[in-house]
């Protein structure tokens, strides 16, 4: 017999799968050339709820399998100090520059390895209304620099899998917030 938490998770996953079918997909990779990785995920929550989880950097350590630590503010020109997980086991400290933050629809930052002309990555998140219910989160990373043609194909399989895991974890957090908000607003008054 499933526990309440397992049943809620199963219902949420079933609802997300149904919404994904209605909206034309779920977590899916979209290939756009060799230098970009893009994953789309339907999330059954509002754009504001997704934005709150996405920009709540201090809480990344509690839910994010790809970024174990994030410090900074979601404001253009601000620095983010990140600890990212590479290949599932290697942790790497990096500093990124926030290049766009438009609540609750778009967040982007840039980071580079060595000199920017060697290898740079722009990481972005777009939150769009879904056709039926919730939102579509588009997580994208675009590589540039002299080493991009060599490194991007090596990073792509791992990065795609990591984005899928991160999007699913973010969906769980945002949908949990949506569920809590709905139950709070529908609770009978005493």
- 142 part of a folded domain: yes
- 60 part of a folded domain: yes
- The percentage of the chain sitting over the pLDDT mark of 90, rounded to a whole number, equals 62
- For the cut 50, the answer to whether the pLDDT of residue 32 exceeds it is no
Q: Where are the alpha helices (DSSP H) in 114-188?
A: 148-185
- 42 part of a folded domain: yes
User: In the structure, what pLDDT confidence band is assigned to residue 182 with cuts at 50, 70 and 90?
Assistant: low
- 186 part of a folded domain: no
Q: Which residue has the higher pLDDT, 74 or 27?
A: 74
- 65 part of a folded domain: yes
- 188 part of a folded domain: no
Q: Where are the alpha helices (DSSP H) in 56-110?
A: 60-63
In sequence order, which residues have a C-beta less than 8 Å from that of residue 16 and are 6 or more positions away? 26, 42, 43, 44, 134, 171, 175
pLDDT at 132: 85
For residue 44, the domain's CATH number is: 3.30.530.20
pLDDT at 89: 79
Domain span at residue 123 reads 17-180
Q: Which residue has the higher pLDDT, 5 or 86?
A: 86
Q: Count of domains in the chain?
A: 1
pLDDT at 3: 43
- 11 part of a folded domain: no
Q: What is the mean pLDDT of residues 17-45?
A: 63
The whole-angstrom separation of Cα 17 and Cα 3 is 21
- 31 part of a folded domain: yes
User: In the structure, what pLDDT confidence band is assigned to residue 131 with cuts at 50, 70 and 90?
Assistant: confident
User: What would the two tokens of residue 161 be?
Assistant: 């899998």
Task: Identify the DSSP state of 130.
Answer: -
Note the pLDDT tens digit of each residue in 68-82.
999 999 999 999 999
Q: What is the pTM of this model?
A: 0.79
């Amino acid at each position: 017999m499933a526990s309440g938490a397992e049943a809620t998770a199963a219902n949420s996953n079933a609802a997300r799968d149904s919404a994904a079918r209605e909206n034309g997909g779920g977590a899916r990779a979209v290939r756009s050339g060799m230098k970009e990785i893009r994953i789309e995920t339907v999330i059954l929550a509002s754009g504001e709820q997704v934005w709150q989880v996405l920009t709540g950097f201090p809480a990344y350590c509690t839910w994010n399998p790809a970024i174990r630590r994030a410090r900074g503010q979601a404001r253009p020109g601000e620095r983010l100090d990140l600890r990212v997980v590479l290949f599932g086991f290697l942790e790497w400290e990096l500093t990124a520059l926030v290049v766009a933050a438009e609540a609750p629809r778009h967040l982007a930052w840039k980071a580079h390895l060595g000199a920017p002309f060697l290898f740079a990555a722009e990481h972005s998140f777009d939150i769009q209304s879904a056709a039926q219910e919730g939102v579509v989160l588009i997580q994208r990373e675009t590589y540039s620099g002299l080493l991009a043609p060599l490194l991007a194909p090596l990073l792509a399989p791992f990065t795609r899998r990591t984005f899928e895991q991160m999007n699913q974890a973010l969906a769980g957090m945002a949908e949990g917030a949506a569920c809590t908000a709905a139950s709070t607003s529908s609770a009978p008054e005493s």
